[in-house]
Structure 1
Amino acid sequence: MQTTLSLICVILFLLAGNLCNLTISPTGPASVEALVGTNVTLGVSHAGAFQPEVMWFMGSLLIARWTVGDGSLSGVDSDILRPEQDGSLTFRNVSLRNNSTYTVEMTKIGEAKVSATFDLFVYDILMNASLHTDSDDAVEGDVKFTLYYITMRGEAKEVRWLFNGLQVKNGPHYSIGEKKLTINQPSRNDTGRYTVSLTNPFSSETQHRDITVLYGPDMPVLKVSPTKAVFVSGESLFLSCQAEGEPAPSTSWLFNGESIAASPAGAVHLPNVETSQSGVYTCVMVNTRTEATLERNVTVTVYELPRGGPSCSVQAGNRSAALQFLCLWPGGAPEARVSFPGLSHNASGYGNYSITIHDIQTLHGQEIICEAEHPLNHTQCSVIPRAPVGFLAVILTSMSEDDRTTVEIHCSAEATPEALVRWIKNGERLQTGSKYQISANTTQLFIHEFNATSADLDTYTCTAINPLGNTTVDTTLLGPQISNSSVFLSDDQTEVSLSWHVPLTSVITGFDIQVKGNLTSDFRTIRVMPASARNTAISGLDPKYTYYFRIVPKTGRTAGEPSEQHRTGPAAGLSGAAIAGFAAGIPCAVLVLLVVLGFIYCGTRDRSPRYPVSRAVEKVREAIVCVIVRLFFTFSEGSFSSLQAVVCRSTLTPQNLLRGRLKPPPEYRLQQPERSGPLPSVNPSVRMATTV
């Protein structure tokens, strides 16, 4: 019927002009549901035109265009889309990314466009659904408690929440959102089983979770009774804690804030107590229903020799030309007495002692000894003051989400005491501000909003200073550069490994790995690497095709000079110079051999033999000369073909003794033809801030 109507319209159009209006309509539902991996057709029918033009859009994107009845179809992805001759569109092996609204437009010459719209919903099979909560416990009186579900595969079209078998509705107490059920101000009445039911046109899943809302009826009464407060190393310690409550509270113990083991009755036994066990012991009693808590503290002191040995250090004094020496040996009972006899014979302290020296010129490189005395032991430690020594600056680069680059220069010199650092650029001392920021210990300079094409690429000077001296390091920052690069092709020629190096002071935030085929003029970025990367492997190459690779260093959005291009693909064959050498050398060698054999041959023919020479021997001689001549002419491209014919006119008949023929030398080609194949697949861009 439709074909007849279209034919009538065509006839009327030819006879009396365009009398039929183009119409289009879906042949099925406008809302189509499909399972992942199946084929689905968005069917349409039309009338009023013989061969209208058809255009399909995914949203506003044109995905297919053809003319009804025309055998040639173009502008479509034949692996996914299949245009039908009636204007319908078929999806092969439909996937989740095909979820969209589709519009088909048909156009008849002289008329406006007509269109139809479809909604395609693609679902996967629901698998491995699970139900979770946002916190471990639901507590009466809290603001909210949330349950949510997760599916490892597939999405639900319909979600139903149930509490003890009854469906939950949106309201003041329950809030249902995307994949969530929120209980507002939960109470003990919300204890029970919660169920989520997930369905789509092709599968369903149901999950359950039991929720208990915690609450407390009253406050407990607590008592604390430790057995002893002061102990000597090696003694045993017992702590007990009791309290009344309904239900009976649980008891736990903390030592200096950290949990320790206790008996079921709530007692703590510490055999052979040590100094490290001196401190505050806290008994914590909790009503498990109400979570009401009561704490009691007991301080325990243990006398013992300090662990380990004393620690010595030195730091800059309040004045630039002074040094403060420190000796530390904490702990023990009583505390150890410490002193610096080489600096002062009378001054000393206990546990933590310091002394300031102003005359420091003779102290550089000298060992300063701290004597540490305890009733149970006498020991010492030492420190050697030193001026800053030479060092290398470390450059770190980071990039924010809005592509703003920050460069950090780290100057840390070995010095005792620790050196302070001054930063200078172009003769001016740098201070913390919007552009530059100096760390609290002065060893780090941060350059914000670094521009690799501006004056930020300059020499930065850091001077490390302590009271004993100073040292200076100049660091010249360079833009994104690659010093050298190389490529290695795997044995099966399907994977290539790239490696590269950069200058130590080059500021780089990443690298673009680019590739092109020999038949294309532009490189394409297939991988973005972090600044720390120095190699990468690219697989999926076709050994029959030729590829060109290069690495482009970048600082933020600024790209540096790319590396040299590295070619991979079929073997290049002999070079032009090698082929020219063969072309010139082989004929010359054959010519020399020909001349020598010619003399032998002619000399033999001119000499009168003592005995008659058989005809067979003469033919062998002629055949040898003929073969050599032919070989020479072969390399000479047959330029003396007439002479060759004269020499060889009577040789190499089927009856001749020399029956084998010399084969011509193999052809030498300048290079195998390059074939360009599909480029390797592109990886998503990755932004990463890393050490240069």
Structure 2
Amino acid sequence: VMKIRRQIFSELSFSVEPKDVAASLGERVILDCQAQGESPVGVRWRKNGLQLHESGRLRVLSNGSLCISSSAQSDEGFYQCLAQNRYGAVLSQRSHVLLFITHPVPAEVTLGSVARFSCAVSGSAVISWELNQRSLPLDSDRITVLPNGVLQIHDVTMRDAGNYRCLATNMASRVRSREAELTIIPGLSSGPRPLMKPHIIAGPQNISAGLRQSVVLECLAEGNPRPLVSWSRADSKPIDVSGARVLGNGNLIISVVKAHHSGTYLCRATTPGTRNYSIAPGNLAVLVPPTLVEKPESQTRPRAGTARFSCQAEGTPVPRITWFKNGQSLERDMRKWLKANRGYTSTFGLILFSGNIAIVVKECSELHGCVKLKSNLHLCTCMIPIKV
């Protein structure tokens, strides 16, 4: 009998297993899974090793396949289907769902000018590029691939025409984007290109980055002759060159972001030997975790007295302070008090309590003792006697 059962169990298998999928945000995604074996065979799905529950967007079809009706960034991950009958269960191969936030789009450029394609995915992946389904060689200083996936081509030639697609690769899989055609428009004559003032095609974006992350400040300019690209800060402070480098023809890379890197950066494209230039700004906001500058201290007060606890924190963005008593949030007591006392609120707080009464005072106005100590740091003191 045991031998027969082993033979039946071995018949439980997959005729179709899910494969790696690359899709655009919002598109429908189908992960195929078809199992065969002695009926009834049930199919369930797992994501990143955990059981996946059906919802409005996630449905298991009658044939066992998984349908994601409108893909979201949270759907990125690794999927497996689990087939099971009364004799056992089998688990499929892993399928990596990678969502393209940006696909390259077709472009038309003039011979000798600049071309740019962008590509971005939801997960962590290295982006490379293919031309006409072959790896794009990067042996020329005309071609640059930025860490964020942007492809830049300077001084385009007729040989650059064709179909481009990006390749997103990580340790688990490799997926390709849609193709985008680059069309090269010949010049009006066979003579030299006419002079053209500098024009910034893609300037730095307003971005936020955490400490020790890497950021890319792009600056892609065209003109004839080719413009010279330089960088400066709007506040005239020098740019910290430690950990910073220029990639390609003017893109600024900051490898390890620090707090003092925050600020507005100016990309300037200048025609060599002239005063013709173009400027594009971009703001870098460095996110700094909260740190406590002043911590509350233990106190002893007489009955019906007033205890004052101060808390100061700094960080970027400005931290929000929440108070707890014996592990319980005081938000409810705070809201009651604010409603009865004209609703003063503040990001930087102070707590007053006597006996079993606790109050969080948030945002005392200037009249109630708010003092700006320095950038991103305020101290608010509001003394309110409490009767018990």
Q: Which has the higher contact order (CA 8 A, sep 6+)?
A: 2
TM norm. shorter chain > 0.5 = no
- Which structure carries more strand by proportion? 2
TM bucket, shorter chain: 0.3 to 0.5
TM-score, reference length from structure 1: 0.25
TM-score, reference length from structure 2: 0.40
- Which structure carries more helix by proportion? 1
